[in-house]
Structure 1
Amino acid sequence: MKLAFLVNDVDTEIDEYTTTRLARAAARRGHETWYLGVGDLEFGSSDGLFAGRARAARWKDDDTLASFMEGIKARDAERIVLDELDVLVLRNESIDDLQERPWASPMGVVFGQMLAARGVTVVNDPNTLHRATSKLYLEEFPERVRPRSLVTRSPEAIQQFVDEVGHSVVKPLYGAKGRNVFMIEGPEETNLAQMTEAVLQDGYAIVQEFIDGAKDGDVRLFLLDGRILERDGRPAAFRRVPTGNDPRANISAGGRSVPLELGANELGIVEAMGAKLRADGMFLVGIDVIGDKVVEINPESPGGFQSVERLYGIDIADTVVEALEHRVNAGA
């Protein structure tokens, strides 16, 4: 295959990222593998083709993840024709660009849609991805797997929700990595106005009922085509445990990952969500579970493969690349 990974900016990529592990798996399997940033695309030349200034990702037998990424960044960018790709993997995080580079935020989806229309396999499906990136996407799934919630820009409506529901969590509708996520103890929360103000600076807020068990962290599950991602019979799932008094279990917020054995609760959630995720073209997603509720769907550049690799000694990136091979060979 000839495949490319679209990221925010190649120079800011980190060797421990899940994207690096996916690129490593592709390169080790002998595929022509490229990296390019959202600002490296071009369209409208005389030949009418999509092009990009991309850097080759080549794996050497003595490479580590660090040296692999160093090699990618050190290579000169080459002009490649994106119409000739078999696969474009969208690994840019539009939320990260929303503040500093608003022009870049939608471009992964926009260019992805155009390339998909030209016959390139693009994952996740760019025609659904923009909708799926919003936390509103969770509301499209059965009520039994999601907490009671409200999406609003009204501080008064948030206060009313808290008055009715009590213990809650408020966060940006478009957000990631635990930024501006606040715990609301109940109707008498003295800092609710300040919390609400901070969240509303990012646009719409979503306030959710607090789910029992959150003090124990959350569960990250990886789904591939609507099924649990696994390797050698080992499911890609782990628990993220908060540290200290910080209620956020995100690894980026200081949480730590511990092993998890899947139970009936997690399997039931996958059963309830899998068919829709598959139908929506959500090839690879991470879902976050607290208790018996899904609190987050991560369809855009889901991370955490490093935790699976460290906890279980398996490389689940190989399973993902194998699935892409099957898609291309089947002409999907």
Structure 2
Amino acid sequence: MRLALLVNDVATEVDEYTTTRLARAAAQGGHEVWYVGVGDLELGQDDGRLVARAHRAELNGQDTLETFMERIKDGEVRRVVMDDLDALFLRNESIDELHARPWASPLGAVFGQMLKNRGVTVVNDPSSLVRATSKLYLEEFPESIRPRSLVTRDPEAIERFVGQVGHSVVKPLYGSKGRNVFMVGDRSDTNLAQMTEAVLQDGYALVQEFVDGGENGDARIFLLDGQILERDGTPAGFRRVPKDNETRANISKGGHPVGMEVGEVERGIVRAMSEKLVSDGMFFVGIDIIGGKVVEINAESPGGMQSLERLYGVDVGPTVIDALADRAGAGG
């Protein structure tokens, strides 16, 4: 399989992250692997083909993730015709680009759609990803598996919702890594106006009913083609526990991962989501669960494979890559 991983910028890739592990698994499997940044593409000079300034991801038998990534970054930049790929894995994070490089934010999905139309297998499906990048995507799933919520830019509507529901979480509709996520006790909370103002600076607000158990963190579970990702009989899931008095369990906010048993509650949630995820082309996603409710769907560059590897000694990367090769009809 000829595979490219589209990232924000090759120079800023981190060796520990999930994308590096996916690239390692693909290289170990004998596939031809390339890294391409969102700003590394050209159109028009090669008979209308999409061409990239790409970095080859070649694995040495003695490589650590660090040396693997160093060689990717330091290697010769080559021109690769993207139309000739078997598969493109969209691993860029558009939300991270909104402030620093707004021009780059939509282009992963745009280029992905272009290549999909030219016969390249693109995951996750770029057309659906435009919706799935927003937290609004969760509202398309059954009410039974998600908390009560409100999407608005009206501060008074937020106050009314909190007054009706009580303990709530207020966060940006487009956001990541726990930025501007606030807990609200009730409408009398003296900081509600300040919290609302901070969230609305990023656009629409999503207000969710607080789910009991949230103070103890959340469960991150990976899904592959609408099913719980497993490797050697181990389900790909772990719990994220917040640090000290922090209310957010994001690893980027100091949360730490602990092992978990994926039980019937979690499997029932996945069954309720599976058909739609498959229909929408959501090949590889992470879902965050608290108290039997999905609080977030991570469809764009879901991360956390390093936690699975450390907790269980299992590398799920080969399972993901094998499924992608099968989907692309490219074999191993």
Distance 1:264 1:328 in 2: 32
Runs of 4+ in 1 over 6 A off after TM superposition: none
Distance 1:235 1:275 in 2: 19
- Kindly indicate whether residue 93 of structure 2 is the aligned counterpart of residue 83 of structure 1: no
- Which residue is equivalent to 2:142? 142
- 3-state SS, counterpart of residue 302 of structure 2: coil
After superposition, the C-alpha distances for 1:154-176 in whole angstroms (9 at most, x for unaligned) are 11110010111110000000000
**Structure 1 residue 96: deviation in Å?**
0.2
- Kindly indicate whether residue 204 of structure 2 is the aligned counterpart of residue 204 of structure 1: yes
**Structure 1 residue 263: deviation in Å?**
1.0
- Which residue is equivalent to 2:50? 50
- Kindly indicate whether residue 330 of structure 2 is the aligned counterpart of residue 300 of structure 1: no
User: What aligned pairs does 1:150-189 form with structure 2 within 5 A after superposition?
Assistant: 150-189=150-189
- Which residue is equivalent to 1:254? 254
After superposition, the C-alpha distances for 1:62-105 in whole angstroms (9 at most, x for unaligned) are 00000000000001211100000000000000000001000000
- Which residue is equivalent to 2:221? 221
Distance 2:294 2:32 in 1: 37
Q: Which AA in structure 2 matches 1:200?
A: L
Unaligned 5+ runs, structure 1: none
- Kindly indicate whether residue 329 of structure 2 is the aligned counterpart of residue 329 of structure 1: yes
- Kindly indicate whether residue 70 of structure 2 is the aligned counterpart of residue 33 of structure 1: no
Q: Which AA in structure 2 matches 1:239?
A: R
Q: Which AA in structure 2 matches 1:266?
A: E
- 3-state SS, counterpart of residue 42 of structure 1: strand
Q: CA RMSD in A?
A: 0.9
**Percent identity of paired positions between Structure 1 and Structure 2:** 69
Unaligned 5+ runs, structure 2: none
Distance 2:76 2:108 in 1: 22
- Which residue is equivalent to 1:108? 108
- Which residue is equivalent to 1:269? 269
After superposition, the C-alpha distances for 1:122-165 in whole angstroms (9 at most, x for unaligned) are 00000100101111110000000000000000111100101111
Whether the 8 Å CA contact 2:94–2:104 is kept in 1: the answer is: yes
Q: Which AA in structure 2 matches 1:269?
A: I
**Structure 1 residue 264: deviation in Å?**
1.2
- Kindly indicate whether residue 94 of structure 2 is the aligned counterpart of residue 129 of structure 1: no
The normalised TM-score by structure 1 is: 0.99
After superposition, the C-alpha distances for 1:288-326 in whole angstroms (9 at most, x for unaligned) are 000010000000000000000000001100100010111
Distance 1:217 1:14 in 2: 25
Whether the 8 Å CA contact 2:221–2:286 is kept in 1: the answer is: yes
- 3-state SS, counterpart of residue 116 of structure 2: helix
Whether the 8 Å CA contact 2:86–2:330 is kept in 1: the answer is: no
The normalised TM-score by structure 2 is: 0.99
State which drifts further: 44-53 or 169-178: 44-53
Distance 2:106 2:217 in 1: 32
Q: Which AA in structure 2 matches 1:10?
A: V
Q: Which AA in structure 1 matches 2:224?
A: L
Distance 1:118 1:282 in 2: 19
After superposition, the C-alpha distances for 1:171-226 in whole angstroms (9 at most, x for unaligned) are 00000000000000112100001100100010000000000001111000000000
Distance 1:78 1:88 in 2: 17
**Structure 1 residue 111: deviation in Å?**
0.4
- 3-state SS, counterpart of residue 212 of structure 1: coil
Q: Which AA in structure 2 matches 1:131?
A: R
Q: Which AA in structure 2 matches 1:11?
A: A
The number of equivalent residue pairs is 331
